[in-house]
Amino acid sequence: MDSQVPAPRTPLTLEVSFRKSYSREDTKGVLKNISISGAFLDFKDHSLRTNDKLQLTFEVSGRVRKIAALVVWTNTAGCGIKFQPVNNRDVQIVDDLIYFVETSRSGKKNVLDKIFKKVS
């Protein structure tokens, strides 16, 4: 498989907070789409630059999740980020989020919530 071909994107609207790796303050943003490899981060503060390292924090099914990411491009609406998973748990967090979004759209949200509560 060609590594330059982007992974399929799943549209969503998920509020997140993020900070640059050297920053003490969180900034609010919204993930607008996501794939197993990255996402589009919509935010109003245009201070991010290509290659900035971020720590994203978001909540799924009542659980706070954190994952590292790298800014790969920016524009006036936000930026493209590439997830920087440290371990398999980080990969699973992104996979769970995609699954949660897709399942919610198909009307199976209650089943997924029960699964998340059992594994937490």
- Other Cβ atoms within 10 Å of 96 Cβ, number: 18
pLDDT of residue 43: 87
Whether residue 22 is predicted with pLDDT greater than 90 in this model: the reply is no
Whether residue 39 is predicted with pLDDT greater than 60 in this model: the reply is yes
How does residue 101 score in pLDDT terms, banded at 50, 70 and 90? confident
pLDDT of residue 1: 44
Q: What is the helix (H) or strand (E) element at residue 58, kind and residue range? A: strand 53-60
pLDDT tens figures, 59-93: 877 888 889 999 999 998 899 999 998 888 888 88
- The CA radius of gyration of the chain, in Å to the nearest whole number, is 14
Give the CA distances from residue 68 to residues 7, 20, 40, 92, in Å, rounded to whole numbers and listed in that order. 18, 10, 14, 13
- Other Cβ atoms within 10 Å of 52 Cβ, number: 19
Structural domains of the chain in order of their starting residue, each with its CATH number: 10-119 (2.40.10.220)
Tokens at residue 20, please?
Answer: 């640059």
